[in-house]
Amino acid sequence: MKYFQILIVIGLLFTYSCGEDIDDNLRLDSSEPNLVIKFKFDSNQQRLGNLGQPVSVAPGNAAQSPGINKMSANYIELAPTSNTPLETGEIIYVGEETTSGGTQAIDFQNALFAGNNQTFLTIPLSDITSGDYEWVRVSLAYQEGTIDVLINNQDITGTLGSFVGYNSYITSFDLNESTFDINANKLQGFWAFEASGFSTQGQAPEGATTVPNPIFDSSPIPSGSCVVTGEFENVLSITGNETEDIEITLSFSINNSFEWTEVNADGKYEPNAGEQVVDMGLRGLIPLVSN
């Protein structure tokens, strides 16, 4: 009798254990699909102006393609058509904002970042309205990367942090060996640079940051914002019946995206010679979809 009772207990324990494994497998198999947003930075991608047309570097200026280490965006929107006004499409991400610096601003200290070919955002597809989307809008906030500089007749590579969002509240941030204490709002075009102990900061002219928008005539964006617009090669379709992730790679053009006024016409950025940064805006957006 005792032997029979022991067998029953072992059987119950085995059943319970198998039941746990089955539940775990079911949970794994039923994990819902996501929309995965990645960043890519391409120095060979076409260089566009504000209206989404190919442009060259402005006369009297010089430019270079920076190496982007990381970037932050503050807003992502899917637009069904070219006639969809800004903020009336499917808004899938809005970053944190604050009034700590006075007016409404991007909260830099709580921003999300991603580097080249890295995931910036993952969103359940069930949170996105089903439909067809032809365009994506991305409001950029911050870029950090390397540029070449001529200082004291020496060619060096330094790190540039550029705030391209409409308005950013910054407490402090680090670039290599230097800490920049700001504790204030900074409008679009604020930048800081560090190389081998040399550090400086400045402000690009108002309205100088390039923000490509090929559908400006039908869907304009406010001046001073950094809402870059790109068209899907094939329409992005979300049915609501997806069983696998949809991945969108936001490919940004960095083709001569760092631009300055030339004092010495040598094609080298020389801050000590009085050469001024005039543009740090990305030069186009191509959204690429894969399943």
* Domain region containing 6: 1-31
Q: Are residues 242 and 149 in the same domain?
A: yes
Largest CA distance in the chain: 100
Alpha-carbon distance of 259 to 101, in angstroms, equals: 29
CB 69 within 8 A of CB 144: yes
- Bridge pairing between strands 105-107 and 167-175: parallel
Query: In terms of domains, do 17 and 98 share one?
Result: no
Task: Tell me the pLDDT tens digit for each residue of 68-127.
Answer: 999 999 999 999 999 999 999 999 999 999 999 999 999 999 999 999 999 999 999 999
Domains in the chain: how many in total? 2
Per-residue pLDDT of the chain (291 residues; tens, 9 = 90+): 433 333 333 343 333 333 333 333 333 334 899 999 999 999 999 999 999 999 999 999 999 999 999 999 999 999 999 999 999 999 999 999 999 999 999 999 999 999 999 999 999 999 999 999 999 999 999 999 999 999 888 999 999 999 999 999 999 999 987 899 999 999 999 999 998 888 889 998 888 899 999 999 999 999 888 999 999 999 999 999 999 999 999 999 999 999 999 999 999 999 889 999 999 999 999 999 997
Residues 21 and 117 in one domain: no
The type of residue at 187 is L
Same domain, 152 and 277: yes
Q: How many residues does the chain have?
A: 291
Measured distance CA(195)–CA(148) in Å, rounded? 10
Q: Are residues 93 and 130 in the same domain?
A: yes
User: Is residue 19 domain-shared with residue 63, that is, in the same domain?
Assistant: no
Query: Is the pTM above the cut of 0.75?
Result: yes
- Same structural domain for residues 156 and 174? yes
Same domain, residue pair 60 and 176: yes
* Tens digit of each residue's pLDDT (9 = 90 or more) over 248-258: 999 999 999 99
Question: Strand 131-151 relative to strand 227-238: parallel, antiparallel, unpaired?
Answer: antiparallel
Which segments of 87-130 are extended strands (E)? 90-94, 97-98, 105-107, 119-124
**Does 78 lie in the same domain as 16?**
no
Report d(CA 63, CA 66) in Å as an integer. 9
Same-domain pairing of 215 and 79: yes
Are the beta carbons of 114 and 120 closer than 8 angstroms?
yes
The reply to whether 102 and 240 lie within a common domain is yes
- Edge-to-edge strands of the sheet including 97-98? 97-98, 105-107, 167-175, 178-187
Identify the helix (H) or strand (E) that includes residue 19: helix 2-29
Supply the DSSP string of 48-77, one letter for each residue: B-TTS-B-PPPTTEEEE--EEEEEEEEEEE
Residues 286, 254 share a domain:
yes
